[in-house]
Every structure is written in C-alpha cells, then in structure tokens.
Amino acid sequence: MDARAAAATITQHTSEALQHAGLGVVVDDVRVQEAGRRRLVRVLLARDVSTIPAEDTTSPVEPLSLDEVSEATTTVSSALDGCAVMGERAYTLEVSSAGTDRALTTPADFRRNVGRLLSVVRTDGSSTTSRLLAAGPSELRLEGEDHLVPLSEVTRAQVQIEFTRPDGKDA
C-alpha cells in the first residue's frame, strides 16, 4: 500500500475511533513517510467545530490542550493497532495539533481561529494582516473591513504569532 492510500485508511480508522471516544477532537491531516526501515506516521488533530451552532460565527474556540492530545494519542494508537494498514513493518507514531505555520484552508480552520491575527492573501493579489472577527461556512469578517470576505477570494491565510494580544491572552 502506498503512502497516500495508507494515509487515507489511517484517517478513516482514526476518525471513527476519535468520534466513538467522544473526545471533541477530529483528524486534521495524516502523513505517512518512509524513514529507513521504519515508517513515520504523523497525525494532526484539531478541535471538532461541527457541534458549534451554525449561527455562531464569532465565539472563540479553545486550542487543544496537551492533556486532550495525550488522550487522543491513546485512541489513535489503539485504532492503528486494531487495523492492518501498517502491516508487520515497524512504524513511529507522532500525534499533535496543527501548528500556527499551517495554512488555513477550510471553513473549519478559519472557525477555529476566530479572534486571532491572520495574514490573508486574496485572489486579486492584495494582502492584509487583520484580526478574524467571524468565520462562517463561506465568508469571513476581518477587522477593519467594511464587507464580508468570501472564502473563494482567499488564496492563502495563516495565523500570525502575537506575543501580546489585545485581550490579554497569549497566542
């Protein structure tokens, strides 16, 4: 099984296991890489935002805690042990949350980052660094903008690290 097919199968099995465990965590990405005789399996997790009411586009979403990632790691590991996707070959499992250097691409990515400072590049080539005030399924509200920004007009968006946030919280 090639790495892409293995990643898809791992995503399916671990997603089902996390949903069944009721941890409020979803699989954000899975990567399988060859590393000598072993394989490296990286599973990125994110907070499940599917339970947030559709009309709520502004409430902040807490990032995953280390305890939540640790609990999810146990579930992910058990799910991998219970399926044959990895075969007999040894592998190393890394489970973490996505870092701030990861591009925001889906409505759920934006929803998880309401309240944070973003660097946004649009399809017309313009760019801005603004606070994300609201994120819906198809549009964003950015601080200082007088209109909603359709997600279809965003070519790249990334969280910017702030050492001192206006609300007093650390990034």
Residue 51: band (very low, low, confident or very high) from pLDDT cuts 50, 70, 90: very high
Give residue 5's Cα distance to chain centre.
Answer: 20
Phi, psi of 153 (to 5 degrees): -95, 0
**Among 68, 54, 65, which residue's Cα sits nearest to residue 18?**
68
Phi, psi of 130 (to 5 degrees): -145, 160
Q: pLDDT (tens digit, 9 = 90+) per residue, 12-44?
A: 999 999 999 999 999 999 999 987 888 899 999
Please report the pLDDT score of residue 20 as a whole number: 96
Terminal alpha carbon distance of the chain? 40
pTM over 0.75: yes
- List the structure tokens of 94: 């890394």
Q: The dihedral of CA 152, 134, 69, 96: what is its sign?
A: positive
Q: pLDDT (tens digit, 9 = 90+) per residue, 120-141?
A: 999 999 999 999 999 999 999 9
Three-state DSSP class for residue 56: coil
Q: The dihedral of CA 123, 124, 125, 128: what is its sign?
A: negative
The mean pLDDT value of the chain amounts to 92
Query: Is there a contact between 95 and 45 (Cβ–Cβ < 8 Å)?
Result: yes
Interatomic CA distance for residues 43 and 139, integer angstroms: 28
Interatomic CA distance for residues 138 and 116, integer angstroms: 18
Q: pLDDT (tens digit, 9 = 90+) per residue, 63-78?
A: 999 999 999 999 999 9
